[in-house]
Structure 1
């Protein structure tokens, strides 16, 4: 047995599970500092003036897992982040909406008289048009319309590339890549998404959450805080949504506005009685979110003489707490060294 090789594979697996899910220019620690500088420059220090949001205080005691309770919680996140909610639709049937959108895309593709594309495409409809129309009539037409157009254009691009490819090896690669999409359930691996409904000729935007998240208010808050980052950063064209770290910036936007505890705790779901863990939310990963929470707390401490971690130990999952406090300790030590080198004591 190659023990070194096995150890390296285990370390890689852990990094993929716990580390950032996208490349962060300059490394996670430097990227967090640079990005927090940009957020502070763009939005000021007011978000840092408010204390971190504690789950025990923010989630109502009477939360019952209903759509109305979840919607009220989403509106509460909007109010805290000072994001206008009058043109945001909050819905909680993401799996059904995505299935309807993909099915509508397949039906449109079959009706467009492109036999070459239809013959190659493996995109599958799981709902009839009557079922799609019924869901649209129930009030989900804007979300279905925007997602269906996105599904259709993506499939046309995939299938056209396969049709036009003449190299057998490259064509096999394209087919394998497409099959990974075709065989996955619509929206699998995601608990929420943000949609700009204006691209489909509708009014406003939408935050669509999975019904699976309703029973966990912390998941609702974390997902909503992230998607509201899209509302601000993408909706107002403050960053290019095509940049490689766009989703990570959106995670950090939520941390910057005080929701770091929610994001860090939700980054990895631990299954009781099992050694394995399941990634559930976020692009910074548990390590990146913990480091971002530490940087957020340290900056608040630099601005105001307040505790670096007010009331947080009881709110953080154990692994998140260990990582966050370790990073805070490193930042404090680095600041002390820098202060000594500059000849002034650290305040």
Structure 2
């Protein structure tokens, strides 16, 4: 038995589960510090003046898991983050809407690009009548934007396959295409932000999975992240093609006091074990915990108070351990820097 190989595989699995899901330039710790500097430079310290949002206080006692209650929770997150909600369409049928968007794209491909039908493997899971019924139920803008996006992507994919003459390259392109064709539309995500203005409609949309309302913490974490897109992408404050764009959006939510929710939701809990599937966010549990520690430390420097104000009981055990460890490292580094600065001045 190759013990070293097994250990390395285990470490790789743990990193996939707990670590950041995107590359963070300079390493997670330095990236968090630099990105917090950027957020403070852009938005000032006002978002950090508010105490962090606590699950025990933020979720209404009578929350019943209905869509109505979840929508009110979304609006509460908007108010906390001071993001105008009058042009944001919140909905909880993301899977159906994405399936409708893909199905509409397939129907259009068949009608408008028949030469690609024999190449494309994209499948419609809804009939035109079913797509129309969902559009009539109020989801027409979202379906139109998603259909346009899916159609453009599939035309590029199928055209590349048709025109590629190198067998090895064509096999590679086909393997990538099959990965898309075989996965349900929007699989692997529990929320999405759409700029409906790209399709000639008004406002934006935040779509959440149909299963999300049952867990208010998931509603809050997902909404805080998607509102980061609303601000950073919707107002063109950040290039959305940046490799770390999604991670910055996570940090934006932490910056506005929702770090507990993001860190607790970073890994899906299953009774008796921890799921190997990421639940929410791109920083991962480690990155979100480190970001929460940096947020608390910065608040402590700005306004002397407990480093973890009334937080410990709100944090999951593994998140608490990681956050405490990172806070201790930040305090130690600050003490060393202070001693070195004192020695330099004397």
**Which band: TM-score by shorter chain?**
over 0.9
- Structure 1 CA distance, aligned partners of 2:298 and 2:274? 36
Whole-Å separation in 2 of the counterparts to 1:11 and 1:233: 34
Query: What residue number does 2:3 align with?
Result: 3
Is residue 2:297 matched to residue 1:330? Answer: no
Give the whole-Å Cα distance in 1 for the aligned partners of 2:40 and 2:305: 19
Deviations 1:167-224 (A, max 9, x none): 1111011111110110001111111000000000000001000111010000000000
Q: How does 1:195-206 map to 2 (within 5 A)?
A: 195-206=194-205
Alpha-carbon distance between aligned partners in 1 of 2:275 and 2:43, rounded to the nearest angstrom: 39
Partner of 2:112: 112
Secondary structure at the aligned position of 2:206 is classed as strand
Give the drift of 1:279.
Answer: 1.3
Quick one: structure 1 residues 314 and 84, their matched pair in 2 at CA, closer, same or farther if it must change by over 3 Å? same
Counterpart of 2:236 in 1: which secondary structure?
Answer: coil
- Where in structure 2 are the equivalents of 1:135-284 lying within 5 Å? 135-274=134-273, 276-284=275-283
Structure 1 residue 31 and structure 2 residue 45: aligned?
A: no
CA contact (8 A) 1:271 1:277 kept: no
**How much has 1:113 moved relative to structure 2?**
3.8
Q: CA deviation at 1:276?
A: 4.6
Shift of 1:315: 0.3
Q: Does 1:303 align with 2:287?
A: no
Contact 1:24 1:245 in 2 (8 A): yes
Match of 2:121 in 1: 122
SS in 2 for 1:241: coil
Q: Which runs of 5+ in 2 are unaligned?
A: none
Contact 1:103–1:125, Cα closer than 8 Å, also in 2:
yes
Secondary structure at the aligned position of 2:314 is classed as coil
**Which stretches in structure 1 are left out of the alignment for 5+ residues?**
none
What corresponds to 2:97 in structure 1?
Answer: 97
Q: In 2, Cα distance between the equivalents of 1:188 and 1:12?
A: 23
Preserved contact between residue 65 and residue 215 of structure 2 (Cα < 8 Å):
yes
**230-239 vs 270-279, which moves further:** 270-279
SS in 1 for 2:12: helix
Distance 1:222 1:334 in 2: 30
Cα pair 1:270 1:278 within 8 Å, conserved? no
Normalising by structure 2, we get a TM-score of 0.98
Q: Is the 8 A contact 2:17 2:278 kept in 1?
A: yes
Runs of 4+ in 1 over 4 A off after TM superposition: none
Distance 2:251 2:133 in 1: 38
Partner of 1:53: 53
Given the alignment of the two structures, is residue 14 of structure 1 paired with residue 19 of structure 2, yes or no? no
Alignment match, 1:70: 70
Deviations 1:44-75 (A, max 9, x none): 00011111100000000111111110110000
**What is the DSSP-based 3-state SS (H/G/I as helix, E as strand, rest coil) of the residue aligned with 1:244?**
coil
**Whole-Å separation in 1 of the counterparts to 2:189 and 2:304:** 39
Q: Give the deviation of 1:277 after TM superposition.
A: 3.4
- Determine the C-alpha separation between the residues in 1 that align with 2:206 and 2:170: 37
Residue pair 1:74, 1:220 contacting (<8 A) in 2 also = yes
Q: In the TM superposition, what whole-angstrom CA distance separates every residue of 1:10-63 from its partner, at most 9, and x where no partner exists? A: 101111111000000100000000000000010000011111100000000111
Asked if the contact 1:270/1:277 (under 8 Å) is kept, the reply is no
SS of 1:89 mapped into structure 2: strand
Cα distance between partner residues in 2 of 1:82 and 1:258: 12
CA distance in 2, matches of 1:290, 1:318: 11
CA distance in 1, matches of 2:62, 2:186: 30
Q: Deviations over 1:288-318 (max 9, x none)?
A: 0000000000000000111110111100000
Q: How many Å apart are 1:121 and its aligned residue?
A: 0.4
